[in-house]
Amino acid sequence: MSGSALVTGASSGIGAATALLLASQGWRVFGTSRRPPTAAQPGVEWIEMDVRDEDSVRAGVALARRRAGHLDALVCNAGFGIFGSIEEVPLATAREQFDTNVFGVLSCVRAVVPDFRSRRAGRIVLVGSLAGRAPIPFQAHYSATKAAVDSLAQALRMELAPFGVAVSLVEPGDIRTAFNDATDFSWASRSAYGARIARCEEVIRCSLDRAPDPTVVARRVLRALSARRPRTRYPVGPDSRLVPLGRRLLPDWIAERLVRLHFQV
């Protein structure tokens, strides 16, 4: 399958890798970002769009439709992370996290679904995270947003199934991107949690440095968009299978202890 696809957060990392791979496979790709890159990406048509602004999303989706005639797929990838304790991260900062990672997804989905439903065709891929099923200490806000995306994907899949619209969740573990650079770690430096939060930050930074590159996620997105019968979940990376299995099979106290040992908290 190929066609026209809108990819949010396509200026870097997983979004950029996905947009480029889809374009190389014959898709017409519309990449969105609040600040489109200055360097050209072959085969990617850029639309300036802020997923936090519903008017911006509607205008961006409408522009892509005018150019392509219709959209065949939506890939919701835009997102960012914050690092800090639940106690210390301000609610305003937490709301910003949810505005992008959750309500940004909802805005994009709401903008494309009426057309997909009326045409009885379309694919939606939401980029979640292993953190949605195995929350990370001192990244509770990010983990919670990805848990919400997990639930949205499952419910949306059931709602749209009778209309021939397929919904899948691509679920990466650690992926080596500029995500660390975009994550706000500033709260750790003045935290009451001292050495524990500092050790956790170091584990997260080191894990991402050793992780696979974003092309492994892009290939899963392509599989979800191309499969005759798309699956609900597409795990990515070695830890994305083992960790959920452990959370499902182990008692909570053992699973929690293993997570605390891993992150040194």
pLDDT bucket at 54, cuts 50 / 70 / 90: very high
pLDDT of amino acid 188: 72
Backbone φ and ψ of 169, nearest 5°: -110, 120
Distance CA 72, CA 37 (A): 24
pLDDT bucket at 5, cuts 50 / 70 / 90: very high
47 close to 32: Cβ distance less than 8 angstroms: yes
Distance CA 87, CA 78 (A): 26
Distance CA 248, CA 229 (A): 26
Written as six digits, the tokens of 20 are: 């480029």
pLDDT of amino acid 85: 93
Distance of CA 104 to the CA centre of its chain: 11
pLDDT bucket at 140, cuts 50 / 70 / 90: very high
> pLDDT of 187-212, one tens digit each?
777 889 888 998 998 888 888 778 78
- Domains of the chain (ranges; CATH) run 4-263 (3.40.50.720)
Contacts of 74 (CB under 8 A, 6+ apart): 5, 6, 108, 109, 112, 122, 123, 124, 125
pLDDT of amino acid 239: 74
- Specify the amino acid at residue 215: T
**SS3 at position 136:** coil
Backbone φ and ψ of 212, nearest 5°: -65, 160
Q: CA of 228: how far to CAs of 27, 72, 150, 225, in Å?
A: 17, 14, 22, 9
- State the CB neighbour count (10 A cutoff) for residue 232: 15
106 close to 153: Cβ distance less than 8 angstroms: no
Please give the share of the chain, as a percent, with pLDDT higher than 70.
Answer: 96
100 close to 79: Cβ distance less than 8 angstroms: yes
Distance CA 132, CA 72 (A): 27
pLDDT of amino acid 244: 72
Averaged over 35-46, what is the pLDDT? Answer: 82
Whether residue 182 has pLDDT greater than 70: no
pLDDT bucket at 16, cuts 50 / 70 / 90: very high
Helix axes 140-160, 104-119, angle to 10 degrees: 10
Written as six digits, the tokens of 156 are: 């949306």
pLDDT of amino acid 20: 95
Q: Which residue, among 150, 205, 134, 137, has the nearest Cα to 176 in the 3D structure?
A: 205
109 close to 151: Cβ distance less than 8 angstroms: no
DSSP conformation class of 69: S
- The per-residue pLDDT of the chain, averaged, comes to 90
pLDDT bucket at 129, cuts 50 / 70 / 90: very high
Whether residue 181 has pLDDT greater than 70: no
pLDDT of amino acid 176: 77
Q: What is the pTM of this model?
A: 0.92
Rounded (to 5) percent helix, strand, coil in the chain = 55, 15, 30
Whether residue 186 has pLDDT greater than 80: no
**Range with the lowest mean pLDDT among 86-90, 244-248, 249-253?**
244-248
Q: Name the active-site residue from 27, 142, 234, 263.
A: 142
- Decide if 234 is catalytic: no
Averaged over 160-174, what is the pLDDT? Answer: 94
pLDDT bucket at 180, cuts 50 / 70 / 90: low
pLDDT of amino acid 144: 97
> pLDDT of 60-109, one tens digit each?
999 999 999 999 999 999 998 889 999 999 999 999 999 999 999 999 99
